[in-house]
Structures are given as C-alpha cells and as structure tokens.
C-alpha cells in the first residue's frame, strides 16, 4: 500500500483527508489535501488560491529583462550584479537575505584560436553573427566560444571525426583502422555530457578535442534556425564546461569541503576533475570547413550529420592549429540566499536555481531565476498579509553552476550536517521555461506530489490543468526534455504520467546525491536550439520561448504550491511505498543484467530481500499510522513531529559511505554515470562494477546497497513505532 494511502488512513483516524479517491472527495465536499488535517484544508486552499493570483506575466517579463541585460558569466562583475539584484529583490519581499561568498578555481579565456592549416590556411573559431534587430548580439562583452576547465594548450595536428565521441564510436574507428593518438578529434554535441567527450578522447591519447553543434541535432534539420525560428543558426556556438563532474561537483580544488577564503586546497595538478586535453567548441559553419576536407573512409551511415556533403572519418588533408590560453585564478562567486522564517525554524523547505550564464541566459538559467523571484514575491505578499509559514522557506540562486554546480555545492558542503538535520526538500527550477510542455524529475517519494500540484494549476494556453496537458503530451510523445536527468521506464501498471529520476547536471545534485535531501527538478520545455549561445537572450524568449511570459508565471505557481504544501503539511507528503516499488523494479532489472553478463558470479538475493523489506516496512507504517489517534492536541503535535522526522530521514538512510571510485557521490540508488554525464545510473555501485565485470567489487557494492535499504526500512519502522 502506498504511503499516500497510509496518509489517507491517518486522515481517517485523525481527520486528515490526505488522499481520498475522487468520488469520495465529491461526497465529502471540499477536496482534501495530502498531509493536511480536515480542520486546516479550507484555510490551506484559501492560502493557495491567494498565492496563485499573485505571479504575473508583466512582473516576470521585467525580471527577465533585467537578469538578461548583460553577460554574467561566473567570476565576473556582471554575475555579482545579478546576485545583488536577486538579494535586493528578496529583501524587498520580506526575506532575510544576504550573499554567500566563496573563492573557487575558475578559468576565463584569454585567447581562443583555431585555423585550418591544410589543405589551405583559413581562420576558424569565428564569432556568432550579429543581427540588427537583436542588440544583444552586438554586445562587446560576450565571451568567445570556449569550454570551461579546458587546459591551455597549443597543438597542430590532423583531424579525425569521431561522431559523438562515445566509447562505441572509438571502437568503430579502430575497426576502420583509424587511430586518434596524437590527432585532434572532432566530435559533435549530443548523446553525452561534453566533459565525457573530452575524458574519452583523453583516454585515447588524442592531442585535442573540437566539439561542434551539427545541424542534424539542433540546427536546421530540427526546425527553422534563428532568426526565423528557435533553432541554432550556422554561427551559433554552444559554450559549456568540460569539468569531470562524475568524480564530484563543486570547486575542483576543494572536493568535499567548502571553498571558503582560507580553505585547504589541492594543487591543480592533483585534481581528478580537471581535464588535461585542450578542448574548444565551434559552430557548424566552421566545422563544415574541416569536415569537407577530411579523407579516409566514408563514415558509417548513422554518423552522417546534417551538413550537405558526405562525411569522412579522416585523417586526410585536414589539419588544424589550435591555441588556447586560459586564465586560471581563484575567483569570487556569490550566492544570494533568502530566508522567510517559519514558526519552526528547525525545518527548511528550499527552492533554488543558478543565476550565472555563459552569456545572457534567457532560458538557461534566467527563466528559472525569474520564476523563483516571482515565487518569492508571492510568498512575501502572503507574509505581509499576516501569514507565517509553519516551516522556514529558503530561496537561493547559485553562482558558477555552469562551470560545475559550484555555488550550490560549496553552500551544501559548508552546512551539510545542518541540512541533513533540517532540510525537508529541495526544489530546483533551472531553465524553467523554453516552451509550454511541462515535465520533471525527482526522488520517487515526491513524484505524486508534483502530479497533485499540477492538477491545481491552469495551463495558460489551453485553460485546462497543467496535469491534463502534461498527460496528453506524454501520450503524444511530447514533453519537457532535459539532459539533466535520466528517465526510468514506468512500471507496466503505472497509468499516470511518469517523472524522470535525478542523475546530475543541475543544482539538485549536491542536495540529493551528496546530502540525501529529497529533491525535484521541473519546468516547461519546448523547441530550444540556442542553448549556451549568444542567442539565448531576451529577444529569443520574447519571440519564441514564452512571448507573453504566461508560462513563467505558471512555473511560479507550481513552485509556490509545492512550497506551501511542504511548508504547511501536518504530515510530510512523501510517498515511500512508491519508492519501494521503484527500487524493487530496479533490482529485478539488475538481476537480468547480472544473468546476461555473469550468471552465478553475483548473488543478489540479499538485495532483493532488502528491497522487499523496504516496501513491507512502508506497509507496516501504513497500518500503524492508520491506527494513530493521539491523546490530545499536544500529544498529536509531538507525535506528528516525530513521525515527520522519521519520514524525512528515509532518503538519508539510502546514502552509502560513497561509491568506490568516486566517494563524493553517496546515494546508493541514483548517481550520474562516469561515462553517461547527466544521465542517471540506477543502483550505481553494483551496476558499474557489473559492467566492469569486477565481481569482487560488485559483491561489496551489493552488500552496501542491501545495508542502505535495510536502514531505510528501519526508518519507516521507526515511523510506525512512533505512531503506535
């Protein structure tokens, strides 16, 4: 029985109608809310109705115009000015707000040069084209196309085309008799995080890496390019970090500890997260000059991109000269953090997004920052009207996310013990609006809450609920597509809209993967082909993404309702029965992989038994809480608080001492893969050991996984015991 049903059973015992079938809701009159006592439902619904009236498109448009008024890459004065604007807005809304400051190892480019040297000399690495109607494209402070954390280097070498730069692509090159050692590899964006492309090229001893955006992926083959449409034009460049974030997120010189002024730091050469191979991005107009000069075999059919000629793998006539001069320094970053103090300051609900951008960042990140600010404005207006949240609400915007989730990671590392004691949940709104198709990812215990809130918010385009349109989009194969999180296939019996599982790629990572705080990531997606380019600016949003800013306001309403329910609930609306069911499905899938790759070499019965025990513990909690009556108001409040603590600690119980090869990642159920980048790996310790056929390591990881599942079950049994 799902935790939602045991909260419903609590409602039957305490009068808390947390989850009632629709027909029962209709019979009962006012619809109940998961986690709320009957006596509080009317007031909560009135509060939510007031909040929904506050976020406004014109206010969102003003925020986005200001946030995108200048380039604001991390480590620049522009980024600090954005941080100060956010802090000042939070203060004006009634939050206690200040800037958290860290000193982190950041590179800025001094020289980025690329030229074709054979069969002819031709300058490449050309800048993005300006357009007379888009003033931002003329801005002199736009940083040239570069890859964050590339080392400096100068190399002249022949070029080999390696498709998406995945392991299987290099194996195919070997089959074709092509070696990349000492060559510069040209790879296209897509299918993996860009840092994975550099890492694999480095393992194959390439001399350098050039990454380009092929028009087959986000250019004219996908749709009309800018300025006619929302996709990448020939000169568009995708900037981005090649930091090896699969080892850890955050400052590369202070893994596991906060990068405060006097922090003890590694030497750069000691860091395992800094690439050693020079890497740079170019546009597909320049890539065409290299590709059409390559010799060697014709590419496999699936490697052919969208440029109008036949691709070859090389090497051949094409050789290039690459020169990168990076200015590495300890640079200041700034996180504006605001607190709306609740009646209980020992429990925190946190909403956040990053504020730094490679250039103007209208979608990434400022659509999310705008929605965060509109949410804060709505909460502040409620507070001025006399409301005070039961739990403290924290709203933060992180710096240097683009380089490696740095601002959020340093903040979490500085106060990890306090967060594990107080944090109820973390909600993330990165790139919240690039269209009108809602979707999200999160820990399984919070997925049903997202669906419930989506039923309460109106979709601006259709007038129906966000949930109804979301479900229709899923059935049609549409929806928010984010590289930041993988999506597990829904169980066969699941008839509801699926949400993805959290891998990495945004600021939920340190909260969820390192500290074990239940987390969500969500937003409205669309046709967005100008990612990390100069064209991701106010003009693009006004003409393609959300011209009337109604979806920015809708994102704020969804975030606001989620915060209100988590901050105000009598019993926290977690669904751990759903979590147990998902884990049992992952274990069954893993058993199939083990059977294929090493039948008899790994016994997973202790893991499957522990997963079943977790689901059974949730059922026991259901029965116990359904019988919980309490013995008076103060007794009920004390018991409710104790039950909430036990429920809140289940996620942390799923933490391990750390994955064997990268101990910063501590979640035993979810982690980004070493070679998948953003995408999630399920049961990562065991799965990665199995993939390596390291059966001794797999046995150790399986034992650790079983232990974590038993700890989580014990927390649920503790909740049951408290309810008796």
What secondary structure does DSSP assign to 645-714, as a single string?
HHHHTHHHHTB-S-BTTBTT--BSSEEE-TTTTTSEEESHHHHHHHHTT-HHHHHHHHHHHHHHHHHHHH
**CA pseudo-torsion sign 558, 193, 241, 126:** negative
Structure letter (DSSP) for residue 512? I
| Secondary structure (H, E, C), 78-127 | HHHHHHHHHHHHHHHCCCEEEEEEEEEEEEEEEEEEEEEEECCCEECCCC
Instruction: Give the distance between the most distant pair of CA atoms in the chain.
Output: 87
Assign residue 35 a region: left if phi > 0, alpha if psi is -120 to 50, beta otherwise?
left
Structure letter (DSSP) for residue 473? H
Helices then strands, counting H and E runs in the chain, come out as 24, 16
- In the numeric block, which tokens belong to residue 557? 């309403």
- Compute CA 456 distance to the chain's CA centroid, rounded to the nearest angstrom: 24
Catalytic pick from 128, 289, 374, 401? 401
User: In angstroms, what CA-CA distances link 90 with 66, 388, 396?
Assistant: 15, 16, 9
Strands 96-118 and 423-428: unpaired
* Residue 84 annotated to the active site: no
Distance CA 312, CA 304 (A): 9
Name the burial class of residue 352, with classes exposed (0-12), middle (13-18) and buried (19+) by CB atoms within 10 angstroms of its CB. buried
Strands 319-340 and 96-118: antiparallel
Distance CA 344, CA 218 (A): 48
User: In angstroms, what CA-CA distances link 208 with 44, 180, 202, 294, 712?
Assistant: 58, 10, 8, 16, 46
Distance CA 19, CA 6 (A): 9
C-beta separation of 3 from 618 below 8 A: yes
The DSSP element (H or E) to which 555 belongs, if any, is helix 550-568
Closest CA to 411 of 343, 483, 508: 508
Distance CA 684, CA 118 (A): 45
CA-CA-CA-CA dihedral for 272, 278, 284, 288, to nearest 10: -140
- In the numeric block, which tokens belong to residue 160? 């080999």
State the catalytic residues: 401
């Amino acid at each position: 029985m799902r935790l939602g049903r045991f909260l419903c059973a609590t409602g039957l015992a305490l009068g808390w109608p947390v989850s009632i079938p629709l027909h029962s809701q209709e019979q009962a009159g006012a619809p109940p809310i998961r986690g709320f006592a009957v006596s509080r439902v009317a007031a909560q619904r009135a509060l939510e109705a007031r909040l929904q009236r506050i976020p406004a498109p014109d206010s969102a448009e003003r925020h986005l115009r200001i946030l995108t008024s200048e380039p604001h890459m991390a480590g620049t004065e522009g980024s600090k000015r954005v941080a100060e604007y956010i802090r000042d807005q939070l203060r004006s809304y009634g939050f206690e707000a200040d800037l958290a400051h860290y000193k982190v190892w950041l590179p800025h480019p001094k020289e980025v040069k690329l030229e074709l040297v054979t069969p002819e000399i031709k300058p490449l690495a050309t800048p993005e084209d300006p357009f007379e109607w888009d003033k931002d494209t003329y801005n002199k402070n736009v940083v040239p196309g570069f890859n964050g954390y590339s080392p400096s280097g100068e190399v002249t070498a022949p070029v080999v085309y390696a498709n998406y730069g995945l392991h299987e692509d290099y194996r195919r090159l070997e089959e074709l008799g092509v070696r990349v050692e000492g060559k510069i590899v040209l790879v296209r964006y897509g299918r993996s995080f860009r840092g994975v492309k550099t890492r694999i090229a480095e393992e194959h001893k390439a001399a350098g890496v050039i990454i380009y955006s092929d028009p087959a992926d986000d250019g004219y083959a996908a749709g009309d390019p800018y300025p006619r449409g929302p996709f990448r034009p020939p000169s568009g460049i995708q900037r981005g970090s090649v930091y090896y974030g699969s080892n850890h997120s955050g400052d590369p010189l202070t893994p596991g500890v906060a990068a405060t002024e006097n922090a003890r730091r590694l030497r750069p050469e000691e860091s395992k997260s800094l690439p050693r191979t020079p890497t740079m991005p170019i546009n597909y107009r320049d890539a065409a000059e290299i590709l059409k000069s390559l010799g060697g075999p014709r590419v496999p059919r699936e490697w052919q991109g969208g440029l109008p000629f036949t691709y070859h793998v090389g090497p051949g006539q094409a050789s290039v000269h690459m020169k990168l001069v990076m200015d590495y320094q300890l640079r200041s970053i700034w996180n504006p953090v605001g607190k709306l103090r609740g009646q209980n300051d020992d429990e925190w609900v946190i909403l956040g997004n990053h504020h730094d951008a490679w250039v103007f960042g209208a979608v990434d990140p400022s659509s999310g920052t705008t929605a965060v600010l509109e949410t804060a404005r709505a909460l502040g207006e409620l507070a001025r009207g006399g409301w005070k949240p039961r739990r403290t609400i924290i709203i933060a915007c992180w710096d240097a996310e683009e380089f490696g989730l740095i601002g959020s990671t340093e903040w979490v590392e500085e106060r990890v013990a306090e967060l594990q004691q107080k944090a109820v949940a973390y909600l993330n709104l990165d790139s919240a609006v690039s269209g009108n198709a809602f979707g999200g990812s999160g820990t399984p215990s919070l997925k049903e809450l997202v669906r419930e809130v989506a039923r309460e918010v109106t979709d601006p385009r259709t007038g129906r609920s966000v949930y109804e349109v979301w479900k229709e989009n899923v059935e049609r194969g549409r929806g928010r597509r984010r590289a930041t999180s993988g999506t597990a296939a829904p169980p066969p019996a699941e008839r509801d809209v699926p949400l993805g599982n959290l891998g990495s790629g945004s600021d939920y990572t340190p909260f969820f993967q390192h500290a074990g705080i239940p987390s969500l990531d969500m937003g409205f997606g669309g046709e967005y082909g100008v990612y990390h380019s100069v064209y991701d600016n106010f003009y693009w949003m006004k003409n393609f993404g959300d011209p009337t800013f109604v979806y920015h306001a809708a994102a704020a309403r969804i975030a606001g309702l989620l915060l209100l329910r988590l901050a105000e609930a009598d019993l926290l609306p977690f669904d751990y029965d759903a979590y147990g069911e998902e884990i049992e499905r992952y274990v069954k899938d893993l058993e199939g992989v083990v059977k294929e790759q090493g039948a008899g070499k790994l016994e997973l019965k202790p893991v499957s038994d522990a997963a079943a025990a977790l689901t059974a513990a949730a059922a026991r909690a259901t029965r116990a809480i359904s019988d919980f009556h309490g013995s008076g108001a103060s007794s009920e409040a004390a018991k409710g608080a104790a039950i909430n603590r036990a429920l809140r600690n289940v996620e942390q119980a799923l933490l391990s001492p750390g994955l064997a090869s990268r101990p910063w990642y501590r979640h035993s159920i979810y982690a980004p893969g070493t070679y998948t980048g953003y995408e999630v790996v399920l049961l990562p310790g065991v799965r990665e050991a199995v993939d390596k056929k390291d059966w001794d390591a797999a046995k150790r990881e399986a034992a650790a996984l079983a232990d974590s599942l038993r700890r989580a079950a014990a927390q649920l049994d503790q909740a049951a015991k408290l309810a008796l």
